[in-house]
Amino acid sequence: MVFKTIIEPFRIKAVEPIRRTTRAEREAALQAAGYNLFALKAEDVLIDLLTDSGTGAMSSEQWAGMMRGDESYAGARSFYRFEAAVKEITGFAHVIPTHQGRAAERILAAVLLKPGDIVPNNTHFDTTRANIEAVGAIALDLPIAEGRQPGLLHPFKGNIDLAALARTLEENPGQVPLVIVTVTNNSGGGQPVSMANLRAASALCRRHGVPLFLDSCRYAENAYFIKLREEGYAAKTPLEIARELFSYADGATMSAKKDGLANIGGFLALNDEALAQQAKVQLILTEGFPTYGGLAGYDLEALAVGLKEALDEDYLRYRLRSVEYLGEKLTAAGVPIVQPPGGHAIYLDAQAMLPHIPPHEYPAWALSLVLYLAGGVRSVEIGSVMFGLQPDGSEQPAAMELVRLAFPRRVYTQSHVDYLAEVLIYVHSLRERIRGVHIIEAPAVLRHFSARLAPAHGSLLAEVQGT
Ligand SMILES: *Cc1c(COP(=O)(O)O)cnc(C)c1O
């Protein structure tokens, strides 16, 4: 190619205005929300990077598909289109639709786990961990050592620690009913897993007779990282790479609100016939009949199209580049982030930026509040509010204090990213004035969604000395 500018590979057919607010309005909104960004009204947010989950823009083909949706209770045409798309990409024999990823996780936990069991993962996502702990089993994070060092460059920081996995399997015979590998590793910085790592993890699991499942929310982004970074994959298509990824697993859970490019949906796909039957019993209990699983026919159509659009190379090039573009601007300005930039998000390293805030005053949470206050940007804390509360009720600092800025798919353009960079660099310049927060009240499970907090020292920002 002669030209090097990577453009948004689409034009915009429908627009949705976003609303500017004043700083005083944002201050009041934060207070009303109990200093929890989940409790804000979305219309009070200018750039919403809370999550890339279900927040993407659908294509004209997906909207057209929605009009073709077959709303039959059983055996709908839309289910078979969805099933064919999932089978083409994953190769799994049984495809069970669910309303989103965590429903697939809950079903898998119900059919495979008992109290005391151990489930290793490169890093469990919050809902995966919660579903495992809800049945009394233990969610064990085994990322490679490089994965826990935010500033360190490594092409596949999402890899699972193979030696630790081997040890866990050897030392706990009969107590590890499954191993999960999350692609890309969301809680660990949106970092990819290499094909070599997955192949080796798969061989270990097979040697021990333990099934391997992929948490495959971002299978397309992971496939494209492999194409860019792993030897032997440059000439392969993302679909070919994705198929090879899934071939090393016995099943997968998926939140199709990510690389399904849809606003809702998910699935559990697997090869074991008996296990699939048990999963369908669970599905009927809480989700719905196996040919719709809690989704409308039109959702299944949107997914059938979206799962394939996510594998388009122009789209993936633009997708990864928009995140990297923000990462480059921040790195040039000295803002500490998880390196290299992930596939769906930039993760600010709040521990490095705010060393004066102790973990029990939640530095990453405080930083996320100031980003909103300064620029109307909504992000999410991935730190000690999200992961600090242990199942026994004790409090332990999270491995990392991160603020995730997740990019909705096909929603924001380069000027939005330029604005973001400005806000982030400005907030970085205020870093010494940022102060901690404390928790006023919180539920015992997934507390970050509904906790109420407050500034620990009267305000989020210390007054400037001498003014
Ligand atoms: C989003 C996500 C889930 C849960 O999916 P939902 O659709 O939000 O229920 C599980 N694992 C990972 C890695 C995710 O990113």
- Per-residue pLDDT of 280-317, as tens digits, reads 999 999 999 999 999 999 999 999 999 999 999 999 99
Residue 467: is its pLDDT beyond 70? Answer: no
Q: Which atom of ligand 1 is nearest to the CA of 54?
A: 7
Task: Please report, to the nearest 10 degrees, the dihedral formed by the alpha carbons of residues 262, 125, 190, 305 taken in order.
Answer: -20
Residue 445: is its pLDDT beyond 90? Answer: no
Give the pocket of ligand 1 (CB within 6 Å). Answer: 53, 100-102, 125, 127-128, 182, 186, 215, 217, 255, 257-258, 266
Rounded to whole angstroms, what are the CA distances from 120 to 112, 210, 455? 14, 11, 36
Q: Which atom of ligand 1 is nearest to the CA of 103?
A: 9
How many angstroms is it from 3 CA to the middle of ligand 1?
37
Label residue 65 exposed, middle or buried (CB < 10 Å: 0-12, 13-18, 19+): buried
Q: pTM of the entire structure? A: 0.94
Find the mean pLDDT for residues 383-409. Answer: 91
Q: Give the Cα separation of 265 and 98 in Å (integer).
A: 6
How many angstroms is it from 223 CA to the middle of ligand 1?
18
- Per-residue pLDDT of 142-172, as tens digits, reads 999 999 998 899 999 999 999 999 999 999 9
How many angstroms is it from 181 CA to the middle of ligand 1?
13
Q: State residue 451's pLDDT score.
A: 96
Q: Which domains does the chain have, with CATH numbers?
A: 23-45+313-455 (3.90.1150.10), 60-309 (3.40.640.10)
Nearest Cα neighbor of 111 from 277, 293, 348, 245 is 277
How many angstroms is it from 427 CA to the middle of ligand 1?
29
The pick from 127, 254, 303 for probing ligand 1's pocket by mutation, whose C-beta has the most ligand atoms within 8 angstroms, reads 127
